[in-house]
Amino acid sequence: VIGAMVIAPLLGPVLGFSMGAALGDFKLLKRASVTLASGIGIALVSAWILSFFLQIDLESRELMSRAEVRLDGLALAMAAGGAAALSLTRAQASALVGVMVAAALLPPGAALGLFVGSGYWTLAMRAGLLLSLNVVALVLAALIVFRLRKIRPRAWIDQKNADRAVWINAVLSVLLLAAATALILWLDLGAAVSVG
């Protein structure tokens, strides 16, 4: 996790996906999706393999908090996505932003791999939900910032494609976040998790 915070390997794919949506560039969208999925996949597989060598401590507050899906986690991911997009559009250093993105993605991803490898399926599903929501929140926030900063293609026909891609991504993201928020509140997924 610390290494991922330093080199921020998932920052580029998240921004690439959002930029591809903002520009209607489907080739960039596809490349960013594959890279993001590969990065998260490597983290998941690494954590899964480690689960066979490490004893999972279900008393660990850090580990168990990754099975708590709360609205403040979504707020962190939205802030990270917005900050990442702003750092890109203003050509500023992205080290701190990389830390934010890594903090939103890698802990729940590592927890997911550890829970799956240890056979704690309910906890794994909760960590997976948190990871998925954080990815969506990061992408949506970056997409909003790109639109507010008026990042769009120059050609008129490309602008039409970009507008369509942005609206599709934004509507799907908002619907997913709204449904997830309702589930978080209804099922009380943010409550402290304990295995007894």
pLDDT one digit per residue (tens) for the chain, 196 residues: 555 555 567 778 888 888 888 887 889 889 999 999 998 999 899 999 999 998 888 888 888 888 888 878 778 888 888 887 887 777 665 556 666 677 778 888 989 999 999 999 989 988 998 888 888 888 888 888 888 888 777 666 667 777 777 787 778 888 887 887 787 777 776 666 666 5
The domain ranges of the chain are 2-187
Longest dimension (CA), the chain: 60
Tokens coding 52: 């066979």
- Give pTM, 2 decimals: 0.82
Q: Would you state the torsion angle of the CA atoms of residues 27, 28, 30, 33, taken in this order, to the nearest 10 degrees?
A: 180
Q: What pLDDT shows up at residue 150?
A: 80
Q: What pLDDT shows up at residue 196?
A: 54
Q: How far apart are CA 64 and CA 127, in angstroms?
A: 9
In the block, tokens 């909760």 appear at 126
Crossing angle of helices 95-118 and 71-89, rounded to 10°:
140
Q: How far apart are CA 142 and CA 10, in angstroms?
A: 14
Q: What pLDDT shows up at residue 107?
A: 86
C-alpha dihedral sign at 62, 81, 26, 160: positive
Q: How far apart are CA 141 and CA 78, in angstroms?
A: 5
